[in-house]
Every structure is written in structure tokens, then in C-alpha cells.
Chain A
Amino acid sequence: MTTDTLENTEHHEEHHAQPSGIKRWLYTTNHKDIGTLYLWFSFIMLLVGGGLAMIIRAELFQPGLQIVEPDFFNQLTTTHGLIMVFGAIMPAFTGFANWMIPMMIGAPDMALPRMNNWSFWILPFAFSILIGSFFMESGAPNFGWTFYAPLSTTYSNGSTAFFVFAVHIMGISSIMGAINVIVTIMNMRAPGMTYMKMPLFVWTFFITAYLLIAVMPVLAGVVTMVLTDTYFGTSFFNAAGGGDPVMFQHIFWFFGHPEVYIMILPAFGIVSTIIPAFARKKLFGYSSMVYATASIALLSFIVWAHHMFTTGMPLFGELFFMYCTMLIAVPTGVKVFNWVATMWRGSMSFEIPMLFSIAFVILFTIGGFSGLMLALTPVDFQYHDTYFVVAHFHYVLVTGSLFSIFAGTYYWLPKWTGHMYNQTLAQWHFWCSIISVNLLFFPMHFLGLAGMPRRIPDYALQFADFNKWVSIGGFAFGLSQLLFLAVVIKCIRSGEKAADKPWDGAEGLEWTVASPAPYHTFSTPPAIKDE
């Protein structure tokens, strides 16, 4: 632990004038502080977005309109989606990137610390605009998180401008975050850490950052076109003026499909770190994991129109996008097989991070299966825009991305706080979540197959039974997350002192520093041992 003592002395020299209180957080350029900010912000957004989902599920608990009006219902589904995607999942991963990448590659901080500060601090403004629109005359955006034109343009309720500016700010934040990740990884690896020696976690964030830089400008472009169509008389998506509403969908999904990989590749990285630690065995097929991640990223650019099979594409287009989409199953399969092979003949134990990771592997794979089913164009005509799709993307985003975030939080919480979390509470969190989340999302497959469209505030009577169960699952899952909050707060305040390396099977530079991690780590680069 020589690095360790070095850290501590330097800490005192450099930072005698560090501001305290709110200013510490406003002015901070420290990657750990910013990581913490991102993580708390995303958790607050998770609760807000979850609260909206609870209202949705309360309305759908039984047939009839009991609680909200249809138009407000549309505002709920729209903002729920936007907040969960841009406010909860993406910032949580940026939080992980900030905390862990420098520590994993032996760098003292992110490469561009001031930009780092800015990329976080513009986010609260973006979401204030978005959530604030609920309290304006227009109401919040009500055209779905996919904001298809002309519903979001000519026929908008007047919230389009707020929506567009909010998305612009989120996009700027993401792009800056991504630039920072790339620059850090390319320039600040400890000597001897070649690309193929980087932890897989770092690789997945590296590739994700490229995806972000590639597609966030496309999103910015399409929202700008929506803005000018709505307020400045252009006709990009207005057929009456020579435009094409389907072109909107092409541009949107050119962003949108890579976006879903932006939300799952980091999850792969987290899970690929945790499974070997608790199987006490090296990750199986490290290099094939890297190649699989890269090929998923590349393929993500040529499958976008599988979201649009019903828009009236020519046969050739449908076949092309069907085949490409099916191909994604190959690298994704490789990943799942590699995880299972890592567990095979390991020496496994089942601490909370491992429980969430195993749940991830199973439930994400179920989401992958329904994804494969959706890829087949002829059947997609039946599944499209039904609860089957809702089930699919919640399996990959909730039991996929969100579960990986839980897994990663439990895994690194001892490093972040210096304390072990409360085992019993965490067990409760896991088991309540896993039971309720399946009650919440599994019956949605049946609802979709039986013909229930998505985004409807009321439904035919044959859907009533399942919807009741789904709602009960939803409330239970929502409440279970308060347990998570309790675990984290308890862990920050108190708890058994964590060792520098609390998991005997864990590997990586982050475990060579003290717990909690000192404010500055690796001011002198660590030596990377050759294997």
C-alpha cells in the first residue's frame, strides 16, 4: 500500500483551501465528488420517474378512468420514459464512470475536471425545465418519449419548446461526459496498462462513450427540426409542406437504437466485473467480450428501422433490418455464454452484488429472447406497440440496466463509504425487488400477446385481471426501492468498517487503495504487473 501513504500526504498539501458545504459540491472538480453527485441525482430521478409510474399503474389498476384524464395520462407516460432514460439510467452510469474509471486505470482524476463539473451541473436545469412543464399552462410533453411528429409538432399541446430545450441540455451533458471518458481512457492509463489489459468495465464505458458522441448530435438535430417545424414554419415532417413524418422516425431511431445499447453496455461491464469476483475465477473469454461489445456497438447503427416495421417500409428494407437485428443475438449470446462459463467450476458465493448479477443474467436474457422474437418482422406486426414491447424493454432496462446499477452499487459501496452495508436489509431489498419486478413485468407479455396496445389509459375487460397483478407488482417494486435508499444511507452513516478489499475474489486497482477511497488516488501512477 505504498500508493496509499503517498496519497494521504499529497492530499494535505494540495487542498488546504477546499470549500465546504454546498460550495464544495458546486465547485468540485473531483471525480469522486462528481460521481457521487451523478449517482444521487439519478436516484432522485429514479424516485420521480417511479412516482409517475405509480400513478400510471394506479390508473390502470382497474378498467375505467378513475384518477387521471387521458391527456394527463399521456403526459405521465412521456415524462416517465424521458426521466428514466435520461435522468435515471444514463446519469447513474456516468456516476459509475466518474467514480471508477480513474481508479481502475490508475489515473488521479478525469482528464477534463472542469468540464466534468459542468456536464453534471447543467443536468438539474434540464430536468427542472422538463418537470416544471407539468406546472405550466401547456402541461408536460404528452406525445410519448419517442415524440413522433406530427403529434409533437403541428398537434403539440404547446410543451414542445420546453421539451426540446430540456433534451438539448441533456444531450450537451452526455456529450461532454462522453468526451471526458474517452480522453481519460486514452491518455491517463497507468504505464503498462495496454488497451487489452484494461478491465472490461473500462472497455464497455469506452465503447459506450463513442456511441454517445456518435448519436447524441443526431438527437439534437431531430429535436431542433421538431422545434422549427412547430414554431418556425418549416416542414421537415409535415406532408402538407412536402416533408415526411416517417423521416422523423428514421432520424429518431438512428439515435434511439444505439441509445438502448448506451444503456446496456455499461451494465455488461459491471456484471463482467462482479461475476468473476464472486466465482473466484477469471472472466471467461476477456478478448471475445471486448470484441462482442464492439460488434454490438457497430451493429447498433444498422438496425434502427426494426422499430418501424409497421410504417410501410419496402420489403427489401424489412428483410435487411430483420437480418441485421437477428445478428445482434450472436455477440449478445457470446456474452451470456461467457458469464455462465465464468461461473462454471468456480467457487461461488452469493453476496448481494452477485445475487443482482445472477438475476441480471437470467432476466436480461429473457429480455433478449423477447427481443429476438420482436426482430422477426412478420410477428413484430403483432407485437409492435403492445404491452409485449413494454415487457421487453422493461426486462432489459429494469432487470437489465437498473439491476446492474444495484449490483455495482453494492459491490463498490464499501469502497465509496468505507463501511459494509447492512446485510439483512440488502437481502430484503434484493428479494422484494426480484419477486415484485417479475410480478410487474412478466404478465405484460401476456397482455401484449392478448392484444393490449401500449400507452392507453383504459382497456377492454379481458385485460383487467393481469393489469391488477401488474399494478400490485408495480407498487411493491416501487416501495422496495425505499429499502435500497435505507441501505445506502445506513451504509454512509455507519456500519462495520470495510477492509480495503472486502471481497476476497475481487481484482483491480480500485481495491489497492484504502476504504473509503481517499479524496485523491493515484497521484503517482501505480505499477501494472505483467502476467
Chain B
Amino acid sequence: MRGRNRIWLLLVSLFSNAAWSDSQLNLTKGVTAISNEVYDLHMLVLYICTAIGVIVFGVMFWSIIFHRKSKGAKPADFHESTKIEILWTAIPVVILIAMAIPATSTLIAMEDNSDSDITIQVTGSQWKWHYKYFDQDIEFYSVLSTPREQYENHNGEPATRSEHYLIEVDKPLVIPVNKKVRFLLTSDDVIHSWWVPAFAVKQDANPGFINEAWAKVDKPGIYRGQCAELCGKDHGFMPVVVEVKSEEDYQQWLKEQQQLIADAANAEQASLSASMSKEELMQLGESTYLAHCAACHQPTGLGIPPAFPALKGSPIATTGSIEEHIDIVFNGKAGTGMQGYGKQLSLKEIAAVVTFERNAWGNDTGDLVQSADVKAASGE
């Protein structure tokens, strides 16, 4: 008897709210009204299922223990009962209706995209997110910031891994607290899915179509999620990080961003007349390449043929014209993994990365490319 009590205690503690709500075992409650409703719904069904399970398995184990042949049980000979069968068809229907009612109201609330304060376009591409603030002229890419050495460890484990290993980015999305933020989701290539568990928002980003979702966050903080739809090789390396700021901090951040954009435009202008040395170009080129190109073309320049071509020894990066080379990097190639980097990188970076590709891995063309060449070849 004591043993059974202990099992009960264990079960109860396992399924009690207190043990689950804050631990990693369970769904997050999140930080929006919707995510809390979703959490409650999740717990409701979990309890109902557990209760049904206890009853059904209880009856089953009762007969397993008491109605066994070795105990001399003689089989009864009933094998149908219309009354009971109607009963256990009807009761589940009632339980289902009881679940469907809160589910319906939560769903209707989730799908109400009207009256938003801010709208942000979220675009997935292999394998990063692009955020564009409507009415603010602010846009940027958000890329995994965990260094490669931390996860590519075929030759041994790294000494340390960062705290937010694989769920950290260079530039998080920033939104204000207590404002209804509407997300418009789309994709440049394959289907991705933008997911922040703390907001209970998971919405596919479909190429050529726009989906909607929204969140009104109660609490400033940093919230992390990941791409949830298989989108190719680096699907596991495409985190979503959202920083929720107080209204003042958010306004401050907007100002900083505008300043950064102005600075970048000035630097872009300045770079047109400046000329960089080979060392400078190669150094910047290598870091740009590793950050933006190595995922597909590999740090060795060998690519992963046939999906991702080698650049080492490739005609475009050796004997071909510099203009063509710039063109494919700047504008990309539609319908392939090769996206245009004109929007993502500065002229200087593109000049550097093209120089790097034409001089690294034995592609010793000796060509130097400057920002002005990129500007000229890009046709803008």
C-alpha cells in the first residue's frame, strides 16, 4: 500500500503545475496574452488525456492483474452491449466539445491581425532572416553568430561553447513592449518558418506569398527561437532572436539605427574614391567570405558539388571577366541558392570578397577590385 502511495505522489508531482511550469520539460508560458492562453489550453488537454489514460489503463491493468488464467479466471461470455457502446461514443464527443470551445476562441484571437501599431516584414532566405521596418526605412539581415569552430568539430571538441550556442545572431530583431507588432512573412527561396516559442508565433515564410502573424509582448527581454521548416543544408543554423525593449529604449534604438544607416551611406560614398591595398582587400575579403559565402562554397572554396559549385579554379573566378564575377555576387542568380549580395554587403565588402575569391586557394589572378569597380559593374 505504501508503495502505491509513493507512486501516486510521484505521478501527481510529475503532472502538477508547480513542477512543470518553470522547468524545461514543458511548453513555455511565454510573454504574450496569446502564448499564455495557448499554454493553458496545452495543460487542459494534457490533464484530460492523463485522466482518460489513468481510467482506461487502470481498467486494463485491473483485468491484467485479476482476470488472468493463472489465477483461475474463467472467461465471461459477453461480447457486445449497445448501451455501453453508445455511451463511450457519446462521452468522448462531449469531452471533445469541451476542448474545442477554448481552442476556437484562442484561435480566433490569434488570427486577428487588425489594428497593429508596427509592421515588420520578415523574409527568410537560405539561411538567414531579413527584417524590414515599415515606415522607418530600417532593414537588416540577422545571421547566426556562433563561430564555426564551435560547431564544426570533426577534429575534436571546442574548448568552450557560447551560452546561447546556435540560438544567437549578429543583429536581433528589436521591437517595443506592449505594442501590437504585425509580422508579414515571406521568403526569397524555399519555405522557412519563423518561430518564437515565447510569443506562440510560428508562421511559414512561403516564397511568392505573404503570411501574417502578430505579437504583443508584455515583458522586455531577449527571446529566442529557430527556423522550424526544413530549408536545406543549414536549416539548423538559422535562429530567430527578438529583443523586446521598453518604449524609450526602442525609440533610442531607432535613432541609432538611422544614424548607422547615414554613416554607412557616407562610408559607401567615401569608399568610391578610396583605393584599398591588396592586404586590406584580402583581409576584409576573407572575413566577408567566411561570414557570408562559406556555408555553401565552403572555407576551402571547393563547394559541395553539384548543389554548390567550387570557386577554386572556377572559370568565373579565374579566367572570366571581373564584371561577370561582380555581377553574380551583386545580383545573384534567380532560382538558385546564389542570392544577390548587393543589398546585404557594402560595395567595399563586395570588392573585397571578389578580390579574395580571385586570389585565394591558388586562384592567383592578381586582380584587385575596388568599390568603384563594383559600382560600375553592378549597373546601379
Which residues does A use to contact B, with CB under 8 Å?
Answer: 63-67, 69-71, 74, 137-138, 142-144, 148, 150-151, 154-155, 157-158, 238-240, 244-246, 279-288, 310-312, 315, 318-319, 322-323, 326-327, 329-330, 333-334, 336-337, 340-350, 358, 361-362, 365-366, 369, 372-373, 376-379, 381-382, 384-386, 446, 449-451, 453, 455-462
Chain A interface: which of B75-83, B245-253, B267-275, B347-355?
B75-83
Are A158 and B230 neighbours in the complex by a CB distance under 8 Å? no
Are B208 and A312 neighbours in the complex by a CB distance under 8 Å? no
Bound: A451/B228 CA distance, A? 10
Are A310 and B202 neighbours in the complex by a CB distance under 8 Å? yes
Distance of A46 from chain B, by nearest CB (Å): 24
Bound: A279/B78 CA distance, A? 12
The 10 tightest CB contacts between A and B, nearest first, are A239-B208, A456-B236, A312-B211, A369-B49, A282-B79, A345-B76, A385-B228, A281-B75, A378-B106, A347-B75
Distance of B9 from chain A, by nearest CB (Å): 20
Residues of B within 8 A of A457 (CB): 236
Task: Determine whether B231 belongs to the interface, using a CB cutoff of 8 Å to chain A.
Answer: yes
Residues of A within 8 A of B230 (CB): 74, 143-144, 148, 151, 455
Are B79 and A347 neighbours in the complex by a CB distance under 8 Å? no
**27 contacting pairs across A/B (C-beta < 8 A):** A64-B151, A64-B158, A65-B154, A70-B233, A74-B232, A143-B230, A150-B191, A245-B207, A312-B209, A312-B212, A326-B96, A326-B100, A346-B73, A347-B68, A348-B64, A350-B64, A365-B56, A365-B57, A373-B42, A376-B45, A377-B107, A378-B41, A379-B42, A385-B228, A385-B229, A449-B25, A459-B236
Which residues does B use to contact A, with CB under 8 Å?
Answer: 24-28, 34, 37-38, 41-42, 45-46, 49, 52-53, 56-57, 59-60, 63-64, 67-70, 73-81, 84-85, 88-89, 92-93, 96, 99-100, 103-104, 106-108, 110-111, 126, 150-154, 157-158, 161, 163-167, 189-191, 193, 195, 197, 200-204, 206-209, 211-212, 224-237, 304-307, 334-337
Are B191 and A349 neighbours in the complex by a CB distance under 8 Å? no
Are B106 and A155 neighbours in the complex by a CB distance under 8 Å? no
Are B49 and A377 neighbours in the complex by a CB distance under 8 Å? no
Are A378 and B305 neighbours in the complex by a CB distance under 8 Å? no
Bound: A151/B126 CA distance, A? 11
Are B88 and A343 neighbours in the complex by a CB distance under 8 Å? no
Bound: A336/B307 CA distance, A? 48
Extra 10 A-B pairs, beta carbons < 8 Å, given A64-B157, A460-B167:
A64-B152, A70-B235, A240-B334, A244-B209, A246-B206, A284-B79, A288-B85, A381-B38, A450-B26, A457-B236
Are A158 and B306 neighbours in the complex by a CB distance under 8 Å? yes
Bound: A280/B190 CA distance, A? 56
| Closest A residue by C-beta to B198 | A451
Given A71-B233, A280-B75, A312-B211, verify A451-B92 contact (CB < 8 Å).
Answer: no
Q: Which of A285, A365, A378 contacts B85 (CB 8 A)?
A: A285
| Closest A residue by C-beta to B68 | A348
Distance of B261 from chain A, by nearest CB (Å): 30
Given A284-B79, A382-B27, A382-B200, verify A322-B209 contact (CB < 8 Å).
Answer: no
| Closest B residue by C-beta to A71 | B233
Given A240-B335, A345-B67, A460-B165, verify A286-B80 contact (CB < 8 Å).
Answer: yes
Distance of B84 from chain A, by nearest CB (Å): 7
| Closest B residue by C-beta to A283 | B79
Q: Which of A284, A348, A369, A450 contacts B25 (CB 8 A)?
A: A450
Given A455-B235, A459-B236, verify A382-B202 contact (CB < 8 Å).
Answer: yes
Are A378 and B110 neighbours in the complex by a CB distance under 8 Å? yes
Given A337-B56, A358-B64, verify A63-B165 contact (CB < 8 Å).
Answer: yes
Residues of A within 8 A of B197 (CB): 382, 451
Are B74 and A373 neighbours in the complex by a CB distance under 8 Å? no
Distance of B324 from chain A, by nearest CB (Å): 23
Distance of A410 from chain B, by nearest CB (Å): 18
Given A349-B68, A450-B24, verify A64-B164 contact (CB < 8 Å).
Answer: no
| Closest A residue by C-beta to B166 | A460
Residues of A within 8 A of B224 (CB): 460
Residues of A within 8 A of B38 (CB): 378-379, 381-382
Are A386 and B306 neighbours in the complex by a CB distance under 8 Å? no
Are A461 and B161 neighbours in the complex by a CB distance under 8 Å? yes
Are B233 and A74 neighbours in the complex by a CB distance under 8 Å? yes
Residues of B within 8 A of A381 (CB): 38, 110, 200-202
| Closest B residue by C-beta to A326 | B96
Q: Which of A150, A336, A347 contacts B190 (CB 8 A)?
A: A150
Bound: A101/B221 CA distance, A? 62
